[in-house]
Chain A
Amino acid sequence: MLVLTRKLREKVVISTDIIVTVLHIDGDQVKLGIQAPKDVSIHRQEIFDEIVKSNREALLQTSDKNGVFQSIMDKKLKAGGSEII
């Protein structure tokens, strides 16, 4: 991991078109401004954690199936996915 020390209002440039600016520091909170092309996705780590959790939950239910889920899983599979692909 590259570690850089920056002061208030100093910037980091990633590639040529992504600029991260330290906007505000207040105790253990740092406010960052990120300038990037519109089609570059930027997320807080928590968003990924939430999706990881949801993925795991969806996986878990296959080993602990009952109720409505069971009624779906009781159906036989057929090759295809033709409905949506």
Chain B
Amino acid sequence: MKIKSSIFDEIEFDEKDIIVLEHGLIGLSNLRRFVLMDFEDETAFHWFQSVDEPDMGFVVSEPTLFDGEYTFAIDRKIKEELEIGTGDDIVVMSIVTIKDKDSAITGNLLGPIVVNATRHRGAQIALNPEDYSTATPLRQPDLEAISNKTEVGCTA
């Protein structure tokens, strides 16, 4: 499947790779279908492309870039919604915001996207604001260093 995007021109992906967020993103319920893309030569960040709105997408990353101890429980309703079964592959992503003023990169750890990669179903959930924030800075501020994910994993 191909879509025309103003950001990346043409984006090609396999239809079977589409991840469905039944309720869309929080506050953006029209964005329900996404594909997760990689950037060339970039392992720390990924691109979460909207299939419904080709001009929309998010930079995402593993939450561990921002917090090495990141943990939360998935509630019953979400487990049902994502059809999570034993042995399913569950992936958690943080939406990344990059403030252009001082190039500060932050991750939204308060509202992670949880994906059941086995069933291609996802949801954005809200965690406890006493535990996490929508703008958590990188653990290591050097962007060069995060291009190698394994290095970051060792800095904890």
User: Chain A: residues with CB nearer than 8 A to chain B?
Assistant: 37, 39-41, 43-44, 47-48, 50-59, 61-62, 64-69, 71-73, 75-85
Contacts and interface: CB of A to CB of B under 8 A. Distances in A.
B111 A40 contact: no
B59 A50 contact: no
17 contacts: A39-B76, A41-B126, A51-B26, A52-B28, A55-B28, A55-B124, A56-B27, A56-B28, A61-B100, A66-B100, A67-B98, A68-B143, A75-B42, A78-B40, A81-B46, A83-B38, A84-B91
A65 B69 CA distance: 31
A50 B126 CA distance: 10
Given A50-B129, A61-B100, A41 B75 contact: yes
B100 A64 contact: yes
A34 B1 CA distance: 47
Nearest to A50: B134
A83 B11 CA distance: 18
B14 interface: yes
Contact of A85 (B41, B79, B91): B91
B8 A54 contact: no
B84 interface: no
B144 to A, nearest CB: 11
B152 interface: no
Nearest to B93: A84
A81 B126 contact: no
Nearest to A81: B36
Contacts of B12: 79
Nearest to B50: A59
A54 B115 CA distance: 19
B42 A58 contact: no
A68 B41 CA distance: 15
A85 B12 CA distance: 17
A71 B42 CA distance: 11
Contacts of B140: none
A77 B97 contact: no
Residue of B8, B56, B100 contacting most chain A CB atoms (<10 Å): B100
Given A54-B108, A54-B134, A62 B95 contact: no
A32 to B, nearest CB: 17
